[in-house]
Chain A
Amino acid sequence: MHGGADAAGSLGCSMQTPAIETRDLARHFGDVFAVDGVDLSIAPGEIYGFLGPNGAGKSTLVRMLCTLLRPSRGRAAVAGHDVARHPELVRLQIGVALQDAALDDRQTGRELLDLQARLYGLRRHERLARVEQVLGLVDIGSAIDRQIATYSGGMKRRLDLAAALIHDPHILFLDEPTTGLDPESRAAVWAEVRTLRAEHGTTIFLTTQYLEEADELADRVGILSRGRLVAEGTPEALKRTVGTDVIVATVTELSPPTLDALRALDGVQEVVAHRHELMVHADDGAAVMSPVAIALHGSGATVRSLTLRTPTLDDVFLELTGSHLGADAEADDEGAA
């Protein structure tokens, strides 16, 4: 549906111009670096999830890529155009839904979409058609002719997404699109993102502080901590970097024979005991689950619970930063922006 990107202003030469490319991109506010030397290369049609806690620098990075903020250092190209030198060309190629749904409560949804379409130079018949198209994608129903002040949070998010899509952008930036939404609205936004990529080939740059969201949606995930990209890869590859599956058993009383029985099992790499909790590390947790249960029973242990846990992106974040996601909000880049 979309044409190829103009190579002018690209930061590098490749067979296919990246949809988004940054080199040593940085932005500081006074002495604080909200974004500090980020290198990215995102292919056309890719869904890229940018994961990090509040204050990690996600919004500052998005605002630079959307031409709202000038980089302090480094370069960035979006759709092949340098964001600092040709912001007007970048703006024609991108759609943006920022962190808070940026809407005018005193307009109706249809009025807002029509104004947005006008400012993108769409003619009347194009505007009418596109409004109907985006409304088919984001379900707002008859509320589209009501003032936005009457909308729920989920409806505002969907209208915000519709406004970002009205000119059929090649690249869509979604800055924490589901923050504050109920599970049903979150699932609706996820479905819309998947549809966009599947049916339109839109490149989607998604920031989130939800592990599940990045895991569910993104082809690749970048983890941002204190303004730096600390890891990047597919969700599965990132999770593999932190090792094995873990079987967690809670028992009434730990005894040496129980530990010996577990360590003797095939496929078990390591057994770590902590009070009444046993953590059994294994490459294939599902395969050793039954032997572990039998060994526990055979050694006389009384088992309260037995669970298999695969590594999560939070484990990756913990491994890379030493803290869980959500506990790393020292730098308030949104406030600084």
Chain B
Amino acid sequence: MTETAPRLEPSGPLVVQARPAGFVVDLFSVAQRAVRQIPREPASVIPALIVPIFFYVLNIGALSKVTGAAAHIDFKSFELPVAVVFAVTGVSRASSLVTDIQNGYFDRLTITPVRRLPLLLGLMMADLALVMALAVPVLLVGLALGVHFRTGVPGMVVFVVLCGVWGLVFTGLPYAIALKTGNPGAVNASFVLFFPITFLSTTFVPKPALQGWLGTVATYNPMTYILAGLRALVSAGWTVPTATAVGDAVLAVAAFGLVSLSLALLALRGRVRRR
């Protein structure tokens, strides 16, 4: 503690009046607690950073010559968005939320005058800060390995923000499961959603190279458009096609977010409704 408590009234102890704190105070209070927890649980963060960098280096080492030559692409630049998306997808405080539900701390919070929405949005704010912080070192690894970012620093900022917002909207799924079930096993299992969304897409090869059912699935997978937008920022420079690709990526993130966040909000409503 850095501040000394004020002197109390000579006539007796300080009298306080409980009152609703307001939406903004609720939001930042919940978010601050969530952010504070992050460095205290390094095991939940470090793999999210190490694993994407490991696979990025592995993939460009193993597939760069084959895929790069066949598709006439710079595979290091092509794969960098995949590595960053890996880092930011599925990182959330949903497991902590389940712990709160199970040990009664969530009930303790709901007995206070706190508004219900900040109980979820505060966690998401912390997630957004974390996934953007995770995106930066992976991006720096790419630059260190020789990726030339053609849209420059402004493009990097858009890149990180887009990845961060994608990571944020993806958290809607584990939060929905956490709030609906209160079950840590179910939340951990939600990670399997990561695989079809991430791999049934243009993860390793460009869209024209995807044939048959995989090409069809990729067409309807928002990840295809997100990767296309991110790749355009890396490789194409500030052009009209880049702006179009980034616009499509934003729409894909928004569409996914509409579904995932709606599910999370419905689950929150069900959880805090007095049954």
Residues of A within 8 A of B (CB): 1, 66-70, 87-88, 91-94, 96, 98, 100-104, 106-107, 110-111, 115-116, 118-122, 124-126, 128-133, 145, 147, 163, 167-169
Contacts and interface: CB of A to CB of B under 8 A. Distances in A.
B108 A98 contact: yes
Given A111-B33, A120-B21, A128-B3, A103 B112 contact: no
A129 B14 contact: yes
A115 B8 CA distance: 21
Contacts of B4: 128
Given A100-B103, A102-B104, A115 B18 contact: no
Contact of B275 (A70, A106, A169): A70
B20 interface: yes
B6 interface: yes
A129 B12 CA distance: 12
Interface residues of B, number: 41
A199 to B, nearest CB: 9
A88 B16 CA distance: 18
B274 A87 contact: yes
A68 B110 contact: yes
A67 B110 CA distance: 9
A119 B113 contact: yes
Contact of A102 (B16, B29, B40, B105): B105
Classify the secondary structure of B's interface with A. Answer: loop
Given A87-B274, A104-B100, A120 B5 contact: no
A119 B40 contact: no
B103 A130 contact: no
Contact of A68 (B25, B40, B274): B274
Contacts of A129: 5-6, 8, 14, 16
Interface in B59-101: 96, 100
A119 B29 contact: yes
A118 B14 contact: no
Nearest to B113: A91
A145 B2 CA distance: 12
A91 B110 CA distance: 9
Given A66-B111, A88-B113, A91-B111, A118 B21 contact: yes
Given A121-B19, A128-B6, 6 more contacts: A68-B274, A101-B104, A102-B103, A106-B41, A115-B29, A119-B109
Given A104-B100, A121-B113, A68 B20 contact: no
A59 to B, nearest CB: 11
B14 A130 contact: yes
Given A118-B29, A126-B14, A147 B40 contact: yes
B37 interface: yes
B26 interface: yes
A120 B18 contact: yes
Nearest to A96: B111
B100 A132 contact: no
Nearest to B104: A102
B13 A133 contact: yes
Given A115-B29, A118-B29, A98 B107 contact: yes
B187 to A, nearest CB: 17
A240 B83 CA distance: 76
A92 B113 contact: yes
A128 B6 CA distance: 7
A167 B18 contact: yes
B274 A67 contact: yes
Contact of B107 (A68, A70, A118, A121): A68
Nearest to B108: A102
Nearest to A110: B1
Nearest to B114: A119
A110 B105 CA distance: 16
Contacts of A68: 107, 110-111, 274
A101 B104 CA distance: 8
Nearest to A173: B111
Of A1, A88, A92, A119, chain B has the most CB atoms within 10 Å of the CB of: A119
Taking each of A67, A92, A103, A121, which has the highest tally of chain B beta carbons within 10 Å of its own beta carbon?
A121
A122 B16 CA distance: 7
A128 B5 contact: yes
Nearest to B274: A70
A285 to B, nearest CB: 45
Contact of A107 (B19, B29, B33): B33
Contacts of B103: 100, 102-104
A103 B20 CA distance: 21
Given A120-B21, A128-B3, A168 B112 contact: no
